[in-house]
């Protein structure tokens, strides 16, 4: 492991980088945050361009990457795939292939970010597959800005925020809890937060109704990471029991493994059996004192979490949102920059 190893690297899954590499990214995030708050210019990516391909909507990811490139002295290019030539179908007559798109785009830019999930994909794993195809053909770093499986930029932000707030995270209990909302949501952020927390030796509990188990591959990765880091990982179907003594809770909806077979309406019918799965003020009392809300946003206030727990002093959600900027500046600088 060395700092140089991150130059030119992709970041598609949380597991693409090692814990030592995330340590470097957090150190650089701290430095860049310090420069931002001290008003010192840091144009480390002058004249460089980051292309951002958004197949799905975004508030934080788009704004934080655009602002990041402005503050680093470069430019970000927002690309709406519906205005481009590409087709994900990859068959004659459908449109330009992913390969040709990736190779051509790489001639114009220094890194490519892709968001591909939810209604933009035909099956679970499709978004991840397309990103890997981009990585195979584009000769610039591919950064996952949220796929159907992973959200490594958010995961880095979450572990950075927990370090910033708690100092050491090792041995602290985090509960990633399924929460009701009529929005049918993807798994990328919950799976990503569980992975990175297990990598850093936290006691990770995923609390969900039985139909909502994580992807088995991700469950295996969480268990492996926890056993290597000295943390722990468990799945719990009793929500209140899961919350007991936790330092951090991340309440968020995610879909079942049948989402792309049964469609959103049937998914919603399953979710309606669990409307009482919410992070409420009463449930906050079960956490350790103090126990904090970590939520990557957008949050469905009144469903996933009570407005009171989003707004009280134990909530980290706005600091967490801001940290997307600082951590992504580190990702961009380390992957698209280089030694002087």
Residues forming contacts to ligand CP in the complex (CB under 6 A) are: 58-61, 146, 154, 296-298
Closest CB to ligand CP among 59 and 312? Answer: 59
| Cα pseudo-dihedral 204, 123, 150, 305, rounded to 10 | -60
CB of 335 to ligand CP, least distance (A): 19
Report how far Cα 207 is from the mean position of its chain's Cα atoms: 19
CB of 60 to ligand CP, least distance (A): 4
CB of 3 to ligand CP, least distance (A): 27
Closest CB to ligand CP among 97 and 253? Answer: 253
Q: Which residues pair with 252 in a beta bridge?
A: 178
Closest CB to ligand CP among 109 and 317? Answer: 317
CB of 48 to ligand CP, least distance (A): 22
Q: Are the beta carbons of 157 and 278 closer than 8 angstroms?
A: no
CB of 184 to ligand CP, least distance (A): 15
Closest CB to ligand CP among 79 and 106? Answer: 79
What is the H or E stretch that residue 8 is in? none
Q: Are the beta carbons of 163 and 327 closer than 8 angstroms?
A: no
Q: Which residues, 6 or more positions from 94, have their beta carbon under 8 angstroms from its beta carbon?
A: 87
Q: Say if residue 115 is preceded by a cis peptide, omega within 30 of 0.
A: no
User: Can you read off the two tokens belonging to residue 314?
Assistant: 């134990």
Closest CB to ligand CP among 60 and 126? Answer: 60
Helix intervals (H) in 55-151: 60-71, 98-106, 126-137
Closest CB to ligand CP among 61 and 335? Answer: 61
Q: Are the beta carbons of 321 and 297 closer than 8 angstroms?
A: yes
Closest CB to ligand CP among 56 and 106? Answer: 56
CB of 154 to ligand CP, least distance (A): 5
CB of 81 to ligand CP, least distance (A): 16
Q: Which residues, 6 or more positions from 199, have their beta carbon under 8 angstroms from its beta carbon?
A: 14, 19, 22, 159, 225, 229
Burial class for 135, CB neighbours closer than 10 Å (0-12, 13-18, 19+): buried
Q: Which residues pair with 292 in a beta bridge?
A: 248
């Amino acid at each position: 492991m060395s700092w140089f190893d991150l130059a030119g690297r992709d970041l598609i899954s949380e597991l693409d980088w090692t814990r030592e590499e995330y340590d470097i990214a957090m150190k650089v995030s701290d430095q860049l945050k310090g420069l931002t708050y001290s008003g010192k210019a840091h144009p480390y990516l002058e004249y460089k361009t980051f292309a951002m391909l958004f197949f799905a909507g975004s508030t934080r990811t788009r704004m934080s990457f655009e602002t990041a490139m402005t503050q680093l002295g470069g430019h970000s290019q927002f690309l709406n795939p519906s205005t481009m030539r590409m087709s994900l179908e990859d068959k004659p007559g459908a449109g330009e292939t992913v390969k040709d798109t990736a190779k051509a785009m790489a001639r114009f830019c220094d890194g490519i970010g892709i968001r591909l999930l939810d209604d933009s994909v035909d099956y679970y794993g499709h978004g991840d597959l397309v990103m890997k195809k981009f990585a195979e053909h584009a000769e610039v770093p591919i950064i996952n800005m949220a796929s159907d499986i992973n959200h490594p930029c958010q995961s880095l932000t979450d572990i950075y925020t927990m370090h910033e707030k708690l100092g050491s995270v090792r041995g602290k209990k985090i509960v990633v809890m399924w929460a009701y909302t009529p929005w049918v949501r993807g798994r990328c952020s919950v799976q990503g937060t569980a992975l990175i927390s297990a990598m850093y030796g936290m006691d990770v509990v995923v609390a969900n109704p039985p139909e909502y188990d994580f992807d088995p591959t991700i469950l295996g990765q969480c268990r492996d990471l926890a056993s290597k880091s000295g943390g722990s990982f468990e799945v719990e179907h009793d929500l209140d029991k899961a919350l007991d003594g936790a330092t951090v809770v991340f309440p968020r909806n995610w879909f079942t493994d049948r989402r792309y077979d049964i469609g959103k309406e049937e998914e919603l019918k399953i979710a309606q059996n669990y409307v009482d799965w919410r992070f409420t003020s009463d449930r906050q009392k079960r956490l350790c004192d103090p126990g904090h809300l970590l939520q990557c946003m957008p949050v469905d206030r009144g469903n996933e979490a009570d407005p009171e727990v989003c707004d009280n002093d134990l909530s980290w959600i706005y600091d967490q949102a801001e940290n997307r900027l600082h951590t992504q500046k580190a990702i961009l600088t380390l992957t698209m920059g280089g030694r002087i």
